[in-house]
């Protein structure tokens, strides 16, 4: 059987059930499709792919290609719309089966369906490689996924298992040959912009696995994770696994089992549990996105709660450019814009400012994060924004942080604000409204 393996958010050889299934073929064509629509502005004022995320993704693709070559394979990188690229490759190379990892986004689901309709005689298969559990191993039916994370966590932990070892696939060491090497058009992809600040994130499977081992077994920073995780700008304060998890260079099951390994051989405490706890949040939003589909992206959210939504263009621009009346928010937004990353605590604070102080439609903030964050994950990003805006999984409704209090608690000496230029020269006034502002229907 000739198989086309469509790499998406699974850019690795370890713990990859989809690639394992593809390996049971006579020939395998490994493909990654760079969609030109990612780099075009969308209806919410932002692009789907910004410079920082694109740089990290390209590094990950090049790393993947280097790991495939010793196995007699190569990565075919195509620049084009998947709905056209995949059927064309199927036709050109006599492909009988197409395999990919299951995706939680609605655009990804739509593309998959369109491709299937264009090639009705081809076998299409999806495997779950992005999550701790498969749908069949969840302690509930997907349609019965709880409305809150706390309920979900209790059901998962009631089973007494963090992650089933039988779900994890070891690193593949052999693959069938490709049915020829098609000419790709990777040269048409956008150029890679140089970062303004030196970054410690390097894309690729090897780098992700190294970060996992470093955080646990080299620095033992996991021992104090619960106490340090809210730091705004300290590398070792949090795991930093999220960029590699987001594009699948690192398996979440690998992370979960490595935590268990660490607890057995080193120490088990509240901090090691809290790292697992954070993985469960990610897991919850994965299934949450699959359950709720398009409602993940609607203004009124999965709760269908109508919120007043007016778009003030100058406020949105000020937030994006770090030019508000709030130095801590400005510093965090400058850090994001210049590096593609900000801490979890900073994300909550800037999102709270966006929704509450600036009174803006949360979807515009979520779209800006999508463009900027190197660890953008559709389910976690939109799930968290809905949560904070009071239209998602939070039973308490709208969340608002006291920004002054947060600044005193997490940056009492203005170290973070000074480093990232949080003191705006002429901050935009919150309550100024002009003819450029318009209501959102």
Residue 238 marked as a ligand binder: yes
Query: How big, in percent rounded to 5, are the helix, strand and coil portions of the chain?
Result: 50, 10, 40
Q: How far apart are CA 258 and CA 15, in angstroms?
A: 13
Specify the pairing of strand 123-127 against strand 97-101.
parallel
**317 has binding-site annotation:** no
Residue 280 is assigned to a ligand binding site? yes
Residue 377 assigned as binding residue: yes
Residue 268 annotated as lining a ligand binding site: no
Strands (E), 243-397: 310-311
Q: Is 229 annotated as a binding residue?
A: no
Torsion of CA 278, 233, 349, 394, to 10 degrees: 0
The tokens for 49 are 């792919």
Euclidean distance between CA atoms 101 and 6, whole angstroms? 8
Report how far residue 169's alpha carbon sits from residue 17's, in angstroms, rounded to the nearest whole number. 6
- Say whether 108 counts as a known binding-site residue: no
Residue 225 marked ligand-binding = yes
Q: Is 81 annotated among the ligand-binding residues? A: no
Q: How many residues does the chain have?
A: 441
253 is in an annotated binding site: no
Annotated binding residue 244: no
10 Å CB burial of residue 367 (0-12, 13-18, 19+) is: buried
If you search the block for the tokens 């490759």, which residue do you land on? 89
Q: Report the 10 Å Cβ neighbour count for 270.
A: 12
Residue 283 annotated as part of some ligand binding site: yes
326 assigned ligand-binding residue: no
What stretch of H or E contains 349? Answer: helix 344-352
Helix (H) or strand (E) holding 124: strand 123-127
DSSP run (H or E) holding 380: helix 378-389
Binding-site residues for FAD, please? 225, 238-242, 278-286, 375-377
Binding-site residues, please? 225, 238-242, 278-286, 375-377
């Amino acid at each position: 059987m000739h198989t086309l393996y469509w790499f998406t958010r699974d850019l690795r050889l370890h713990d990859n059930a989809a690639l394992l299934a593809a390996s049971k073929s006579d020939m395998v064509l490994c493909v990654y499709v760079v969609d030109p629509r990612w780099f075009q502005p969308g209806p919410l004022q932002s692009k789907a792919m910004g410079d920082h995320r694109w740089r990290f993704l390209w590094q990950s693709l090049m790393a993947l290609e280097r790991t495939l070559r010793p196995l007699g394979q190569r990565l075919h990188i195509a620049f084009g719309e998947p709905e056209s690229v995949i059927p064309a490759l199927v036709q050109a190379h006599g492909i009988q089966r197409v395999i990919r990892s299951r995706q939680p986004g609605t655009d990804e689901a739509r593309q998959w369906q369109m491709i299937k309709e264009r090639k009705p005689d081809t076998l299409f298969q999806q495997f779950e490689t992005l999550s701790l559990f498969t749908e069949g191993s969840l302690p509930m039916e997907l349609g019965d996924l709880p409305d809150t994370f706390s309920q979900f966590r209790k059901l998962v932990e009631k089973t007494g298992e963090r992650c089933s070892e039988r779900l994890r696939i070891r690193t593949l060491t052999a693959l069938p040959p490709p049915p020829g090497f098609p000419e790709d058009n990777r040269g048409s992809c956008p150029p890679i912009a140089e970062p303004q600040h030196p970054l410690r994130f390097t894309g690729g499977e090897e780098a992700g696995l190294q970060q996992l081992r470093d955080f646990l077994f080299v620095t033992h920073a996991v021992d104090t994770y619960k106490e340090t995780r809210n730091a705004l700008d300290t590398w070792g304060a949090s795991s930093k696994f999220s960029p590699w998890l987001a594009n699948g260079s690192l398996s979440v099951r690998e992370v979960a089992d490595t935590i268990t390994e660490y607890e057995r051989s080193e120490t088990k405490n509240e901090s090691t549990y809290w790292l697992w706890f954070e993985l469960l949040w990610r897991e919850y939003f994965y299934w949450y996105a699959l359950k709720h589909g398009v409602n993940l992206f609607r203004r009124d959210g999965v709760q269908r709660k109508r919120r007043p939504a007016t778009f003030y263009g100058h406020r949105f621009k000020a937030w994006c450019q770090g030019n508000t009346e709030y130095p801590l928010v400005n510093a965090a937004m400058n850090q994001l814009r210049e590096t593609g990353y900000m801490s979890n605590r900073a994300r909550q604070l800037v999102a709270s400012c966006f929704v509450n102080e600036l009174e803006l439609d949360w979807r515009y903030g979520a779209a800006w994060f999508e463009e900027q964050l190197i660890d953008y994950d559709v389910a976690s990003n939109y799930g968290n924004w809905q949560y904070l805006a009071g239209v998602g999984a939070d039973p308490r409704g709208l969340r608002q942080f006291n920004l002054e209090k947060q600044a005193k608690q997490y940056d009492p000496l203005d170290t973070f604000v000074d480093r990232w230029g949080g003191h705006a020269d002429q901050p935009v006034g919150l309550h100024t409204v002009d003819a450029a502002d318009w209501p959102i229907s």
